[in-house]
Amino acid sequence: MKISIIGTGYVGLVTGACLAEIGNDVFCVDVDPRKIDILNNGGVPIHEPGLQEIIARTRAAGRIAFSTDIATSVAHGDVQFIAVGTPPDEDGSADLQYVLEAARNIGRYMNSFKVIVDKSTVPVGTAERVRAVIEEELARRGLADSPAHRFSVVSNPEFLKEGAAVDDFMRPDRIVLGSDSDEAGLRARDWMKRLYAPFNRNHERMLTMDVRSAEFTKYAANAMLATRISFMNEMANLADRVGADIEAVRRGIGSDPRIGYHFLYAGCGYGGSCFPKDVQALIRTASEMGHNLRILEAVEAVNHEQKEILVNKIVAALGPDLTGRTFAVWGLAFKPNTDDMREAPSRRVIAQLLARGASVRAYDPVALNEARRVLAMDLADAPEQQARLHFACTQDETLIGADAIVIITEWKEFKSPDFMHLKSMLKSPLIFDGRNLYEPEAMTELGIDYHSIGRPYAQLADI
Q: At 115, which amino acid appears? A: V
Determine phi and psi for 115, rounding to 5 degrees. -100, 120
- Helix 246-254 / helix 211-242 crossing angle, nearest 10 deg: 140
Q: At 362, which amino acid appears? A: A
Cβ proximity of 432 and 313 under 8 Å = yes
Label residues 428-452 b or e (16+ Cβ within 10 Å = b): ebbbbbbbbbbebeebbeeebbbbb
Half-sphere exposure of 254 (CA within 13 A, CB side): 14
Q: At 323, which amino acid appears? A: T
Is 274 considered catalytic here? Answer: yes
Cβ proximity of 138 and 106 under 8 Å = no
d(CA 271, CA 284): 19
Closest CA to 310 of 439, 435, 447: 435
Q: Where are the beta strands (DSSP E) in 307-420?
A: 326-330, 359-363, 389-391, 404-407
d(CA 432, CA 451): 5
Catalytic residue of the set 18, 268, 274, 393: 274
d(CA 415, CA 56): 32
Cβ proximity of 437 and 410 under 8 Å = yes
Q: Kindly list the catalytic residues.
A: 274
